[in-house]
């Protein structure tokens, strides 16, 4: 049972503020403030409502946007060639209009990856509960919102009742002390954390990221960190809101205004973990120990500093030995190879992990006046139409195009390749996305996860590089 | 949702750790707007070559395991995306129970919504069950939800834990939405209260 009077974590506070009903065994009915919906995980849920004669309980709290299947080529308006993709997007269009939810269709400039659109439009705010039929809903935790992915049955449950049946997770604190070294970004931090805790290290927990290095991050960086909480197995990731958060939220289309803003701010300022709150698990890393980090294998936990070599399967234990052997075979790598000697064929800059304006600026700073190495193809896919417009206003698109990159329209794109943006078998990609699973970016495609600057630099060099040994030219 | 009471069937061994949802059902099969028909594509990229031919040494392609109803898998089964297509594909193939040392959170939840029982057991127990599964079609495992036990073909029994509410829903094939709608007045009063306390939401 929750004791409201005791010292509480941020997670405890948000949880307590959303309990509608609690059973004796601790199972709670939790109220959901924002429900984000995309085309892949929602058609069966809307169909379920229709079959049962149910309505969307709170259409004003429900926001729909197509992102996974949308083409990112400039001829998008001509329609979608793949019939199944087209049917899925048409289904979302039909459902959004029939049930009267907020909706950003494919040709709206505000369209983009749902986890970029939500914060950008001010739907995501501190202290909220946010869910979506998508594991990267964890992204919204950067605002101090309790945000996590759900399956389609739960999507239907939320549509019908605006609640979820939940049991509370445990509290885990991940503290990054000190300051990040030059060249080390939020992406490196979160890869280093997962490399340390493993992909199941967060299972059963909600993680709060804290410490000086986290406080020093922009909202974009904080979203990158929380986005990958799921890759560490956690139910959700959280960062306590502060002035950085409030500055980001202020003035956004759906953020409160005037007296309501002040009232909201008063509550938001109470959203932090009390000094003597109880943590079930604590992990502390020193910022100065974190180097630019990349993955070598087919699990996000296969993360190492760029200065390392491909590990030998025998250096692991238990079931991970076979998994590492399988990874090396899949990735076409030999133990002992320096990571900086791994040649690449493609660069993908985008996704809900690193498709925001700051990410594009970081990549452009590396690419200014440079070109992709011979034989390397590159694609930049902004996270939303508004990110794309902002980048064009800053002239970043010209830098990308001059460097030989394709400058695409917004969508999930090659992060998972549900649209035609895919790797071909054997193609090796420096990617700013979140998963290096087998087949994720395309059948037999090989993915190395890294920061936008590292991916851009790898494209120029033709192989993975240490960004700290690469001159960067900010605007 | 079909009720889950007891299940006696063939168990297939998949000792690989971190079997992710992209392996269970790759992205190209997420374009469906239905829940059914995904069984043929379960573990697609491990099960078929590029031309659609079966890969003979993949466990579910072996004659002994074509009627598999139980999977015994390595740690952290179901990690990755929230796609409910993963349990839909398992169910459509005929798998009603997955046994591992640990499961990814969202996959674990999704199983219960589809009448699939995910059972987490200690490593030593999973090791024994994995060996039993390796015996093939002659070895049938039994899962008894009421008594919360898994038994090997030679009668070794392991007790597992399960949340009582989830057990009740599985045993009775209950629909969560129906249960929650019974609490409509609590939801309404929460909303009324929040309209006063935090109207900006």
pLDDT of A334 > 70? The answer is yes
**In this structure, what DSSP letter does residue A313 have?**
G
Residue A369: HSE in the Cβ half-sphere, 13 Å Cα cutoff? 6
Q: Is A429 annotated as a binding residue?
A: no
- What percentage of chain A has pLDDT greater than the value 70? 99
User: pLDDT band for position A1 (50/70/90)?
Assistant: very low
Q: Which H, E and C letters describe A417-428, residue by residue?
A: CCCCCCCCCCCE
The Cα–Cα gap between B70 and A129 comes to 35
B128 reaches A (C-beta below 8 A): no
Radius of gyration of chain A (CA): 21
Minimum distance, in Å, between the CA of residue A299 and any CA atom of chain B: 8
Taking an 8 Å cut-off on Cβ atoms, the answer to whether A200 and B102 are in contact is: yes
The Cα–Cα gap between B75 and B15 comes to 8
pLDDT of residue A4: 52
Q: Which residue in A150, A235, A239 sits closest to A200, CA to CA?
A: A235
Residue A172 CA: distances (Å) to CA of A26, A202, B100, B163:
20, 8, 24, 22
Q: CB neighbours of A61 closer than 8 A, spacing ≥ 6?
A: A32, A33, A34, A35, A162
Taking an 8 Å cut-off on Cβ atoms, the answer to whether A233 and B190 are in contact is: no
> What pLDDT, in 10s, does the model give residues A186-213?
999 999 999 999 999 999 999 999 999 9
Q: CB neighbours of B149 closer than 8 A, spacing ≥ 6?
A: B142, B143, B157, B158, B159, B160
Our CA dihedral for A444, A450, A456, A458, rounded to 10 degrees, sits at -70
Lowest mean pLDDT across A64-68, A113-117, A386-390, B135-139: B135-139
Main-chain phi, psi angles of A383, to 5 degrees: -75, -20
Give me the architecture of the B6-173 domain, per CATH: Alpha-Beta Barrel (3.20)
Strand, coil or helix: A202: coil
Nearest residue on chain B to A86, alpha-carbon basis? B31
**Contact, A323 vs A302, CB < 8 A?**
no
Which of B45, B80, B190 comes nearest A443 by C-beta? B45
Which of A54, A134, A233 comes nearest B82 by C-beta? A134
* Rounded mean pLDDT, A330-353: 98
The Cα–Cα gap between A434 and A137 comes to 13
Q: How far is CA A385 from the centre of its chain?
A: 17
> Could you tell me how many helices (H) and strands (E) chain A has, helices first?
16, 19
pLDDT of B130 > 80? The answer is yes
Q: Is A352 annotated as a binding residue?
A: yes
User: pLDDT band for position A2 (50/70/90)?
Assistant: very low
Which of A44, A88, A438 comes nearest B45 by C-beta? A438
Lowest mean pLDDT across A4-13, A167-176, A342-351: A4-13
The Cα–Cα gap between B107 and A118 comes to 24
**Contact, A129 vs A13, CB < 8 A?**
no
Residue A215 CA: distances (Å) to CA of A64, A146, A174, A177, A268:
31, 18, 13, 10, 16
Taking an 8 Å cut-off on Cβ atoms, the answer to whether B83 and A40 are in contact is: yes
B109 reaches A (C-beta below 8 A): yes
CA angle A322, A325, A327 (to 5 degrees): 110
* Rounded mean pLDDT, A300-328: 97
pLDDT of A471 > 90? The answer is no
Our CA dihedral for B98, B106, A185, A388, rounded to 10 degrees, sits at 120
Taking an 8 Å cut-off on Cβ atoms, the answer to whether A199 and B34 are in contact is: no
pLDDT of residue A77: 87
Minimum distance, in Å, between the CA of residue B135 and any CA atom of chain A: 20
pLDDT of residue A295: 98
Cβ–Cβ pairs < 8 A, chains A and B:
183
The Cα–Cα gap between A295 and A342 comes to 11
* Rounded mean pLDDT, A248-255: 98
* Rounded mean pLDDT, A21-25: 93
Which of A137, A233, A437 comes nearest B105 by C-beta? A233
- A-chain CB neighbours of B80 within 8 Å are 135, 435, 437
Nearest residue on chain B to A234, alpha-carbon basis? B105
Taking an 8 Å cut-off on Cβ atoms, the answer to whether A263 and B194 are in contact is: no
Q: CB neighbours of A51 closer than 8 A, spacing ≥ 6?
A: none
Our CA dihedral for B57, B63, B69, B75, rounded to 10 degrees, sits at -20
pLDDT of residue A324: 97
The Cα–Cα gap between A9 and A321 comes to 37
**In this structure, what DSSP letter does residue A311 have?**
P
Taking an 8 Å cut-off on Cβ atoms, the answer to whether B106 and A135 are in contact is: yes
* Rounded mean pLDDT, B176-182: 94
Q: Where are the domains of chain B?
A: 6-173
Type and span of the H or E element at A379: strand A377-380
Taking an 8 Å cut-off on Cβ atoms, the answer to whether B102 and A203 are in contact is: yes
A22, two tokens: 């609690």
**In this structure, what DSSP letter does residue B50 have?**
T
Which of B16, B176, B198 comes nearest A323 by C-beta? B16
* Rounded mean pLDDT, A6-12: 97
Nearest residue on chain B to A125, alpha-carbon basis? B201
pLDDT of A257 > 60? The answer is yes
pLDDT of residue B138: 77
For chain B positions 19-58, those within 8 Å of chain A (CB to CB) are 20, 22-23, 26-28, 30-35, 45, 50
Taking an 8 Å cut-off on Cβ atoms, the answer to whether B84 and A84 are in contact is: no
> What pLDDT, in 10s, does the model give residues A135-165?
999 999 999 999 999 999 999 999 999 999 9
Taking an 8 Å cut-off on Cβ atoms, the answer to whether A263 and B200 are in contact is: yes
User: pLDDT band for position A5 (50/70/90)?
Assistant: low
Q: Which residue in B199, B127, B36, B141 sits closest to A264, CA to CA?
A: B199
pLDDT of residue B139: 81
- The average confidence (pLDDT) of chain A is 97
> What pLDDT, in 10s, does the model give residues A65-82?
999 999 999 999 899 999
Minimum distance, in Å, between the CA of residue B22 and any CA atom of chain A: 7
Main-chain phi, psi angles of A163, to 5 degrees: -135, 170
**Contact, B27 vs A208, CB < 8 A?**
no
Q: Cβ–Cβ contacts within 10 Å for residue A466, how many?
A: 18
Which of B163, B177, B201 comes nearest A167 by C-beta? B163
pLDDT of A326 > 50? The answer is yes
Beta strands in A256-352 (DSSP E): 281-286, 293-295, 303-305, 346-349
Q: Is A28 annotated as a binding residue?
A: no
Taking an 8 Å cut-off on Cβ atoms, the answer to whether A40 and B105 are in contact is: no
The Cα–Cα gap between B119 and B100 comes to 6
The Cα–Cα gap between B75 and A303 comes to 19
- The average confidence (pLDDT) of chain B is 96
B188 reaches A (C-beta below 8 A): no
Strands B68-73 and B97-100: parallel
Type and span of the H or E element at A367: helix A357-367
* Rounded mean pLDDT, A163-179: 98
pLDDT of A347 > 50? The answer is yes
3-state helix, strand, coil in chain B (%, to 5): 40, 20, 40
pLDDT of residue B2: 87
In sequence order, what are the beta bridge partners of A447?
A429
The Cα–Cα gap between A136 and B88 comes to 21
Residue A436 CA: distances (Å) to CA of A324, A447, B22, B150, B182:
13, 5, 10, 34, 43
Nearest residue on chain B to A158, alpha-carbon basis? B177
- What percentage of chain A has pLDDT greater than the value 90? 96
Minimum distance, in Å, between the CA of residue A370 and any CA atom of chain B: 35
Main-chain phi, psi angles of A382, to 5 degrees: -60, 150
Q: Which residue in A190, A208, A229, A211 sits closest to A281, CA to CA?
A: A208
pLDDT of B42 > 80? The answer is yes
């Amino acid at each position: 049972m929750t004791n409201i009077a005791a010292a509480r974590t941020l997670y405890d506070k948000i949880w307590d503020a959303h309990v509608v009903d609690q059973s004796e065994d601790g199972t709670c009915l939790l109220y959901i403030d924002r429900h984000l919906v995309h085309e892949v995980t929602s058609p069966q849920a809307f169909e379920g409502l229709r079959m049962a004669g149910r309505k969307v309980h709170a259409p004003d709290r429900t926001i729909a946007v197509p992102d996974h299947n949308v083409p990112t080529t400039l001829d998008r308006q001509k329609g979608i060639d793949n019939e199944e993709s087209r049917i899925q997007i048409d289904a979302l269009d039909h459902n959004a209009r029939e049930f009267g939810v907020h909706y950003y269709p494919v040709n709206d400039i505000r369209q983009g990856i749902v986890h970029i659109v939500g914060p950008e439009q001010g739907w995501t705010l501190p202290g909220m509960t946010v869910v979506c039929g998508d594991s990267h809903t964890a992204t919204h935790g950067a605002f101090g919102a309790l945000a996590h992915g759900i399956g389609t049955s739960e999507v239907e449950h939320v549509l019908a009742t605006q609640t979820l049946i939940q049991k509370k997770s445990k509290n885990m604190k991940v503290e990054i002390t000190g300051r990040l070294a030059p060249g080390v970004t939020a992406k490196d931090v979160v890869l280093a954390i997962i490399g340390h805790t493993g992909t199941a290290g967060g299972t059963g927990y909600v993680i709060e990221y804290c410490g000086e290095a986290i406080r020093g991050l922009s909202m974009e960086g904080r979203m990158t960190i929380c986005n990958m909480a799921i890759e560490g197995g956690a139910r959700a990731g959280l960062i306590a809101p502060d002035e950085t958060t409030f500055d980001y939220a202020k003035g956004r289309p759906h953020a409160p205004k005037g007296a309501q803003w002040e009232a909201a701010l008063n509550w938001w300022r109470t959203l932090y973990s009390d000094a003597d709150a109880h943590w079930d698990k604590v992990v502390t890393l020193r910022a100065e120990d974190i180097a630019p980090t990349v993955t070598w294998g087919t699990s996000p936990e296969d993360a190492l500093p760029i200065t390392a070599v491909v590990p030998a399967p025998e250096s692991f234990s238990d079931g991970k030995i076979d998994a590492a052997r399988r990874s090396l075979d899949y990735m076409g790598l030999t133990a002992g190879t320096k990571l900086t000697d791994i040649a690449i064929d493609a660069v993908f800059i985008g996704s809900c992990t690193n498709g925001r304006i700051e990410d594009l600026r970081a990549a452009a700073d590396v690419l200014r006046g440079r070109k992709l190495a011979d034989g390397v193809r590159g694609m930049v896919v902004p996270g939303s139409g508004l990110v794309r417009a902002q980048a064009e206003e800053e002239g970043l698109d010209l830098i990308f195009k001059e460097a030989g990159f394709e400058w695409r329209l917004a969508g999930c794109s090659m992060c998972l390749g549900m649209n035609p943006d895919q790797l071909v078998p054997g193609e090796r990609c420096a990617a700013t996305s979140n998963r290096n699973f087998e087949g994720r970016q395309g059948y037999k495609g090989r993915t190395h996860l890294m920061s936008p600057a590292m991916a851009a630099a790898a494209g120029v060099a033709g192989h993975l590089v240490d960004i700290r040994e690469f001159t960067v030219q900010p605007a | 949702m079909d009720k889950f009471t007891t299940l006696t069937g063939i168990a297939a061994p998949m000792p690989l750790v971190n079997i992710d949802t992209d392996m269970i059902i790759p992205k190209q099969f997420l374009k469906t707007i239905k829940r059914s028909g995904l069984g043929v594509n379960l573990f697609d990229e491990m099960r078929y070559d590029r031309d659609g031919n079966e890969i003979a040494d993949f466990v579910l392609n072996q004659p002994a395991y074509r009627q598999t109803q139980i999977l015994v898998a390595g740690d952290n089964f179901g990690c990755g995306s929230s796609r409910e297509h993963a349990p839909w594909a398992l169910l459509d193939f005929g798998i009603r129970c997955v046994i591992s040392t640990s499961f990814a959170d969202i996959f674990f939840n999704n199983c219960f919504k589809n009448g699939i029982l995910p059972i987490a057991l200690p490593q030593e127990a999973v090791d024994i069950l994995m060996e039993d599964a390796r015996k093939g079609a002659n070895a049938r495992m039994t899962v008894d939800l009421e008594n919360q036990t898994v038994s090997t073909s030679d009668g070794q029994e392991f007790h597992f834990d399960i949340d009582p509410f989830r057990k009740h829903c599985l045993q009775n094939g209950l629909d969560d939405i129906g249960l929650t709608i019974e609490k409509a007045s609590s939801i309404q009063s929460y909303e009324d209260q929040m309209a006063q306390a935090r109207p900006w939401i």
